[in-house]
Structure 1
Amino acid sequence: MPFPYKDDITGAELVAEYAPFIKNKTILTTGVSPNSLGANYVETIAAGQPKLLILAGRDLTKVKQTAESISKAHPNVQTRVLQLDLSSFAAVRRAAAEVNSWDDVPAIDVLMNNAGIMAVPYKICEDGYESQLTCNHLGHFLLTNLIFDKVLASTDKRVVNVSSGGHWFSAIRYADINYDGGETYEKWNAYGQSKTANILFSIGLANKYGDRGVLAYSLNPGAIATTNLAGHLDFAPGGDLDSLARITRLTASPLGWMEKELLSLERGVATHIFASFDPVLKDHNGKYLLEKARVADYYVDPVHPHAISNVEADKLWELSVKAVGL
């Protein structure tokens, strides 16, 4: 199956293509509650016979449901659950310590930083940072760094950060990262800031550790028809979709949010799988990937310059190190 792939490529089709690269691998995925992209990702790649799927999430009851689904469909694939609350740096440190204590898991081949929240009401988390930036970026930044030796121990060494076309809505707001105690808060703008951070984090990883074999990517899975991510949104007139349309116009986003094609979970997860296993991507380290499993063309595709700057990647890395106390 040649790259680039057909527009309607599904995750299952890519797993069939990448089976030799998935077999016997260890993959840690965050955000795997049922009916999520993360759950669909791990359930789909299980068909490729990985050695171990580490399933991380805040609600262990939901995480175990996904583990049971995998075990039922693929009894030979091992799973392990991990309690991970990305809103708390102390909880992230506990989760990382648990992973590092597993002597029978010497390496992590793919770290899929998939978990996220979107357009939620204003909240400052216990460590002092706005919740979307904390859960979507800072928590993942801390986890990745704390278990990084296990990534380095792998021959694959892949880290994937799930971003969004919503990165267009905001650069990193260094002068007002917490929205002045909520006074300047706009939920879609804050979501955009966190999604820009996902892209810049991948660039930072590639720049700092590419010479050690680390491959890092960010991705936009596309607009997915049904996931948990948008379950809390108000779809009534004057609600969250109207505010989304407004910020789309205010930021001159070229993404056409209100007319955008909705993808099924099976098609939406294709870019996750592409980022995790495609061998051609070794020539595109640090890049932002787009829905339907393709590498973004920064001259043509809707990628904002504030999200792909090496200078911005360095600034965010410094901010993140200080924020999480590394």
Structure 2
Amino acid sequence: MSSKYNFNTTGSELVGDLGSAIKGKVILTTGISPLGLGTHFAKAIAVAQPGLLILTGRDSKKPQQIADEINKVNHNVKTRVLTLDLGSLKSVRNAAAEVMGWEDVPVIDVVVNNAGIFGVDYAVSPEGHELHFATNHLGHFLFTNLIMSKILAASEPRVVNVSSDGHRLSPIRFGDVGFSGGETYNKWAAYGQSKTANALFALSLAHKLGGKGLVAVSLHPGTIKDTAIGSKIDWEKDTASLLAADVFLGDEGKKGFSWKTSDQGIATHVFAAFHPSLKEQNGAYLENSRVADPWIDTVKPWATSEVEAQNLWKLSEKLVGQEFHY
């Protein structure tokens, strides 16, 4: 079934194919904003009658707006809004405590860690962590682990981490994840490091909890210009610096970008969250609604290494100040 999917496949097409796997599920998606891929994903799967859509954002206004839009079109779909600022570990802990206190939601079938920032100037989180790493990885790492008991209570639990082929831009800089307090900061390396972390986090979850039924995967959605994550990017100026970063890394094949529509951009989200074939591909990195092929896709070994995944888990526990033993 999966072999028919490709670059041009849309999320709407996959929802049509996987409707039975979506129906009745409780699905939590981070990073809900009007232009975000998470919003397109939530709206697309709403037509398949999930049991509950939990929509998170840094404040409640944007996800509530999306919840209202979904409810207008799909009256029978239940929604719930959660305030979750992934750049703040305090906010993450508060949000996780709220979720764990929802007695009427004992199970979360699918978590889609979709939120992210991209190519921002140097900044740190309230806890002092470089902002890409804090928002894109540490927040998701802590939040997912804090609500893990509800995820594992599902009959077919799944965690999806939205990574990127931007992981090519940097492995985990274990000796200096914070870029020496900004002294050695490069926004593309910072973004790349955080996207590598997304892939390695999925690999660790698959290794640690696959025996308990959890399927965890990561994905590259494609390059989509008109989304919230790229709204502050000057594509004429920043594309040149991004391509220069590829040249510096020796990637001669990266000469430009093939753009996807938003509906094409969420296709791999839908595939990752619901396709049954992934039970046999636990921990995989996906692209174009299939398991990525390192011979034809951008899949760096530092994003698929069990050793790197284990080291990142230990580092992440240290940085969030909490250990998770499975």
The two structures have a TM-score, normalised by structure 2, of: 0.96
Counterpart of 1:24 in structure 2 is 24
Q: Secondary structure in 1 aligned to 2:235?
A: coil
TM-score (norm 1): 0.96
| Contact 2:2-2:290 at 8 Å conserved across structures | no
Aligned residues: percent identity? 50
Distance between the aligned counterparts of 1:169 and 1:8, measured in 2?
25
1:296 maps onto 2:307 in alignment? no
Q: CA, structure 1 residues 226+283, in 2 after alignment: closer, same or farther (shift >3 Å)? A: same
**Equivalent in the alignment of 2:269:** 272
1:261 corresponds to 2:258 = yes
1:72 aligns with 2:72: yes
SS state at 2:151 partner: helix
- Alpha-carbon deviation of 1:252? 2.4
Question: 1:165-244 residue pairs with structure 2 within 5 A?
Answer: 165-236=165-236, 239-244=237-242
Q: Which amino acid aligns with 1:279?
A: P
Greater displacement, 101-110 / 121-130: 121-130
String of CA shifts for 1:261-299, please: whole Å, max 9, x gaps: 100001110000000000011110000000x21111234
Measured in 1, the distance between the counterparts of 2:6 and 2:38 equals 22
Q: CA deviation at 1:4?
A: 3.8
The structure-2 alpha-carbon separation of the partners of 1:82 and 1:211, relative to structure 1 and needing over 3 Å to count, comes to same
Q: What's the counterpart of residue 116 of structure 1?
A: 116
Q: What CA distance in whole angstroms lies between the structure 2 residues aligned with 1:248 and 1:285? A: 29
Q: In the alignment, does 2:44 pair up with 1:48?
A: no
Structure 1 residue 240: Cα displacement: 1.7
Q: Unaligned 5+ residue runs, structure 1?
A: none
Q: Does 1:285 align with 2:274?
A: no
Q: What code does the residue aligned with 1:113 have?
A: N
Residue equivalent to 1:126: 126
1:250 to 214, 225, 248: 248
Shift of the alpha carbon at 1:177?
Answer: 1.0
Q: Which moved more, 1:210-219 or 1:298-307?
A: 298-307
Contact preservation (8 Å) 1:168, 1:303:
yes
Gap regions ≥5 residues in structure 2: none
Residues 32-82 of structure 1: CA deviation (Å, up to 9, x unaligned): 101110000000000110000000010311111110111011010000000
Larger mean CA deviation between 258-267 and 17-26 belongs to 258-267
Distance 1:41 1:255 in 2: 30
Residues 193-245 of structure 1 show CA distances to partners (whole Å, capped at 9, x for unaligned) of 00000000000000001111110000000001310111111235xx3222111
Tell me the residue number matched to 1:37.
Answer: 37
Question: How far apart, in 1, do the equivalents of 2:209 and 2:193 lie?
Answer: 24
- Runs of 4+ in structure 1 off by over 2 angstroms are 1-4, 252-256, 298-301
Map 1:69-108 → 2, pairs under 5 A: 69-108=69-108
Query: How far apart, CA to CA, are the structure 2 residues paired with 1:125 and 1:6?
Result: 37
Look up the SS of the partner of 2:112 in the other structure.
Answer: strand
Does the CA-based 8 Å contact 2:2-2:289 persist in structure 1? Answer: no
Matched with 2:315 is: 319
Following the alignment from structure 2 to structure 1, what is the Cα–Cα distance between the partners of residues 218 and 6?
Answer: 20
The 1:312/1:274 distance shift into structure 2, 3 A limit, reads same
Q: Give the count of matched residue pairs.
A: 322
Output the CA distance in 1 between the equivalents of 2:146 and 2:24.
24
Kept in 1, the 8 Å contact 2:7–2:264? The answer is no
- Aligned position for 1:161: 161
Contact kept, 8 Å, 1:24 with 1:52, in 2: the verdict is yes
